[in-house]
Amino acid sequence: MKGDRQVQELIPVILKDGTIHHVPQGSTLGDVAAGLSRRLAKEAVVARVNGDLKDLASQVRPEDKVEFLTFEDEDGRTVYRHTSAHILAQAVKRLFPEAKLTIGPAIEEGFYYDFDSPEAFTTEDLARVEEEIKKIIKADYPVVRQEVTHEEAIEFFNKQDEPYKVKLIEELPPEAQVTLYSQGEFTDLCLGPHLPRTGMVGVVKLLSVAGAYWRGSEKNKMLQRIYGISFPKQKDLDEYLKRIEEAKRRDHRKLGQELDLFGIADEGPGFPFFYPKGMIIRTELENFWRDVHRRWGYKEIKSPIILNRSLWERSGHWDHYKENMYFLKIDEEDYAVKPMNCPGAILYYKTRLHSYRELPLRLAELGLVHRHERSGVLHGLLRVRCFTQDDAHIFMLPEQITDEIINVINLIDYFYRTFGFTYRVELSTKPENAMGSDEIWELATSSLVKALEKKGIPYQVNEGDGAFYGPKIDFHLQDSLGRNWQCGTIQLDFVMPENFDLTYIGEDGSRHRPVMIHRVAFGSIERFLGILTEHYAGAFPAWLAPVQVKVISVASRHVPYVLDVARQLEERGIRVEVDDENERVGYKIRQGELEKVPYLLVIGDQEVDSRTVRVRKRGEGDTGPARLDEFIRKLQQEIEQKLCI
């Protein structure tokens, strides 16, 4: 009879593949994982239940749809590293009891925790904290979730003398249940979910300490932020640290100075300077951009940088983007420096009446925009306050939407393949502050989905991260180190044409409303150049390299022929420098290699006598003698084909 009761108490759980698994009533998600396989019981870190992430200690209910996640899953890594952040906070509180807790989330590359501490954390302190972290992991404390009332939570953290936690709780509705997570003697305010035990974390490495304002506002107190990373296995950490060292070697800020490409002056934080060699690369990127857009049927325009407040109110930027804009007064009226190019393209569209026969109208602009970014987030060329967006705005008939989106996808794909990038795609949907009706948003979103599915492109949905005027497709590049960068985007917009009363004359002779696409391929010239610098480690392919060939003399008697070779290269449109300094040839070759010049031509007695050049190719070394005309022909072919070698 007892066995019969147990059978009757079994409840069905629906697994990811749709199969039904029966478990005893009262089972936790951890129990379910253990019943499926020993390996899953060991590797599962969290479960997705009916679409929501849940602790493995949570009980399952009949008909729950359950998917188990491991460290290999993005959400699984987030939970793993969020627990790692709590372990870090516990270790810091043990060693520095006066430190006050603030927040400690997982981030794309690891995690951090912010502390308000009277002591400045040093490198030696981080080593001590790491040792304490190892003790907490070894202790294998259960991570226990507890729900308390608003009043109980405030009382608890007041007793713990944690004022920042109290502030966070006070911002919650008074009737809200507050979630706490405890491990050993340590308790934190947190929504969760978390790992079941601290011992599930394999290895933790603390990377750095930096300043960070409370809530990201310069008006608030400066805190100390400790960054860390965690992995299940030591070999994963070792590979990560090796990649970090390589990333430091490739840092575009460092290479920008070493190669004399670009920089940022103290007098203009967030406003980059491009030096002569950097301008060569930038110009080549812009020339490539213009050539591709001409072939894809775009017309280039240029809109003003400063426009009247009334325009930005009508576009919605005044209400939705004002905190990121710069303002000034002209003739006692309010003006704004443009943060985006789209209103300028719209004003051009409105300069005359359009026929349906003209559409799609594809307008492209390399437009300089300015956005107010906090000083703490500025980062070389990757996060700046002024940048040139390679914008385009397409005005089209509703029935042209799918074909135009596919056309833009093809253009962006061509761009990225030219530079040797792979990419993944995200679809971002309606945000909370969106303009326009639900019906318009549904139509716009389904149109983007239709285009992606017609192209057969896999994509990930990014809920609520669309622009305020429309959903978007984002392209995330993967560089040579496996890092992801969000660059290209396609935004479908039914709202702006309505706001600005855009029309065209249809086949029936009456006025109709066009649909609008906003899109970028590079994202911004500045950011893309920063990414390229790190992707190539400063060794730009020949078509982009500021100096494509350096001609080197072995001795002073070879200089006349060196100058003749340089002249012939220049006449054929090749960017060339001469090194005829009175230095050893080995030193001059080394200098050319440090400057990452694609080709070095070394001229000595043999080359002068035979009227040839000795070629050294970057990454390969001496490739032997060659006739100059043959070398030029091959180099021109390489430049024309834009080979990424």
CATH number at residue 60: 3.10.20.30
Q: How many other C-beta atoms can be found within 10 angstroms of the C-beta atom of residue 475?
A: 24
447 and 307 within one domain: yes
State whether 508 and 435 are in the same domain: yes
Residue 110: inside a domain = yes
Which string of DSSP letters, residue by residue, matches 275-342? Answer: -HHHHHHHHHHHHHHHHHHHHTT-EE----SEEEHHHHHHHTHHHHSGGG-EEEEETTEEEEE-S-SH
Give CA 561 to chain center in angstroms: 49
Q: Which candidate in 188, 391, 579, 580 is catalytic?
A: 391
Beta strand extents in 41-119 (DSSP E only): 46-49, 52-54, 64-69, 100-101, 106-107, 110-116
**Among residues 535, 569, 603, which one ends one of the domains?**
535
Active site residue 197: no
Report the alpha-carbon distance of residue 522 to residue 362 in Å, rounded: 17
Q: Catalytic: which of 252, 277, 472, 519?
A: 472
Find the catalytic residue in 86, 165, 518, 535. 518
CA distances from 70 to 45, 67, 109, 483, 595 (A): 5, 10, 17, 21, 44
Spatial contact of 78 and 27, defined as CB atoms under 8 Å apart: no
Catalytic residue among 77, 252, 317, 371: 371
Q: Are strands 299-300 and 361-370 parallel, antiparallel or unpaired?
A: parallel
Could you tell me if residue 569 is inside a domain? yes
Structure tokens at 310: 């009334």
Is the domain of 369 the same as that of 276?
A: yes
Work out how many domains the chain is built from and give that number: 4
Average pLDDT of each block of 10 consecutive residues along the chain (645 residues)? 55 90 92 92 94 93 93 95 98 96 93 95 95 97 95 95 95 91 96 95 95 85 95 95 91 94 92 96 96 96 94 87 90 92 94 96 96 85 93 94 92 93 90 79 86 89 80 89 88 89 96 94 94 94 97 95 96 96 94 96 95 95 94 95 79
Same domain, 204 and 60: no
Q: Is position 150 annotated as part of the catalytic site?
A: no
Q: Please write the tens of the pLDDT for every residue from 508-567.
A: 999 999 999 999 999 999 999 999 999 999 999 999 999 999 999 999 999 999 999 999
- Residue 439: its pLDDT value, please? 81
Question: What range defines the domain where residue 103 resides?
Answer: 75-245
Residue with tokens 């992430």: 53
Catalytic residue among 190, 342, 386, 487: 342
Residue 497's domain is classified under what CATH number?
A: 3.30.930.10
Q: For residue 183, give the nearest of 136, 228, 227, 148 by alpha carbon.
A: 136
- Active site includes 194? no
Contact 546, 533 (CB under 8 A): no
Cα four-point dihedral sign 639, 641, 642, 644: negative
The answer to whether the beta carbons of residues 356 and 510 sit under 8 Å apart is no
What pLDDT was estimated at residue 217?
79
Question: Both 155 and 297 in a single domain?
Answer: no
472 is catalytic: yes
Which one, of 441, 417, 413, lies nearest residue 425 by Cα?
413
Query: What are the b/e assignments for 577-590, b being 16+ CB within 10 Å?
Result: bbbbeeeebeebbe
In a domain, 257, yes or no: no
Told to judge if 487 belongs to the known catalytic residues of this protein, a careful annotator would answer: no
176 in any annotated domain: yes
Are 137 and 229 in the same domain? Answer: yes
The whole model's pTM is what?
0.80
Q: Is 346 contained in some domain?
A: yes
* 138 located within any domain: yes
Domain contains 44: yes
Residue 390 is predicted with a pLDDT of 94
Which residue in this structure is represented by tokens 């491991």? Answer: 70
DSSP H or E stretch at residue 631: helix 628-641
* Residue 93 sits in the same domain as residue 21: no
Tens-digit pLDDT profile for residues 142-181: 999 999 999 999 999 999 999 999 999 999 998 888 999 9
pLDDT reported for residue 333:
93
Same domain? For 636 and 570 the reply is yes
Length of the chain: 645
For residue 633, what are its two tokens? 């022909």
3-state secondary structure 223-249: EEEEEEEEECCHHHHHHHHHHHHHHHH
Tell me if residue 518 is catalytic.
yes
Is 371 annotated as catalytic? yes
Q: Which residues, 6+ apart, have CB-to-CB distance to 641 below 8 Å?
A: none
- The residue among 70, 97, 126 that closes a domain is 70
Q: Are residues 272 and 318 in the same domain?
A: yes
Given the residues 194, 277, 393, 558, the one annotated as active site: 393
Q: Say which of 90, 183, 224, 389 is annotated catalytic.
A: 389
pLDDT of residue 2: 45
In degrees and rounded to multiples of 5, residue 207 shows phi and psi of -95, -40
Long-range contacts of 94-99 (CB under 8 A, 24+ apart): 94/132, 95/125, 95/128, 95/129, 95/132, 96/125
